[in-house]
Amino acid sequence: MNENIQFLQAFLKNPLKVGSIAPSSPELACAMIDGIVPAKDNVVVELGVGTGAITKYLQGILEDDESYLGIELDPDLVRSLRLKYGDLKIVCGNAVDTVEIHRRSGLGKVGHVICCLPFVSLPNEVGEQILLEIDRLMQRGCTFRTFQYAHGYYMPSAIKLREFMRSRYGRSKRSPLIVKNVPPAYTLTWSTK
């Protein structure tokens, strides 16, 4: 099935959890993987894999299958991701359990978290739990990158995420506005390395 149609179907089924009507563009995907060097002991964890719009580009820079872990909530999307990316470890699960899912995967140390979750439309308590999981990974030393849509940049939950990360890891590195994306977005990166 066409990726855009599949994404739209997922959005119509669960708009608040998907949070966007279209998958990330190639321009946003490239900005999300910029400078990332995955390896067996520097695993990249992708939260909210969707239809694999970013995974497609990540796959091209993976050292091997042992350097990637994807977590996606929607079982229909996971089924289709497994057909497309059979070699990659993609778990049907909730990002609130990221640390445990990573532990069970048997993969090496997490070096990068690529977060595509729609914090703006997730329930507050879910967003807070996910931030605490990310914090646990960050304390073990890794980079965290997410994107925020320009139109939601000043919404309370978007500000809350930035304040949470800033209070622990300092100022983010923000990309220029990526206009070739629907909707336009910034990437934000924090690092403990």
Ligand X SMILES: C[S@@+](CC[C@H](N)C(=O)[O-])C[C@H]1O[C@@H](n2cnc3c(N)ncnc32)[C@H](O)[C@@H]1O
| Residue 20 within binding range of ligand X, rule CB under 6 A | yes
Query: Please, what is the angle between helix 124-139 and helix 156-169, to 10°?
Result: 20
Tokens linked to 184: 């336009």
CA distance 119 to 130: 9
| Residue 74 within binding range of ligand X, rule CB under 6 A | yes
> Toward ligand X, which CB reaches closer, 45 or 116?
116
Binding mask 30-69 for ligand X (x = CB under 6 A): -----------------xxxx--xx---------------
CB-facing half-sphere around the CA of 157: CA atoms within 13 A: 19
Shortest spacing between CB 73 and ligand X, in angstroms: 4
CA distances from residue 141 to 72, 101, 137 in whole angstroms, order as listed: 23, 18, 7
| Residue 94 within binding range of ligand X, rule CB under 6 A | yes
| Residue 117 within binding range of ligand X, rule CB under 6 A | yes
Which residues of this chain interact with ligand X, rule CB under 6 A? 17-20, 23-24, 47-50, 53-54, 71-74, 77, 94-95, 116-118, 126
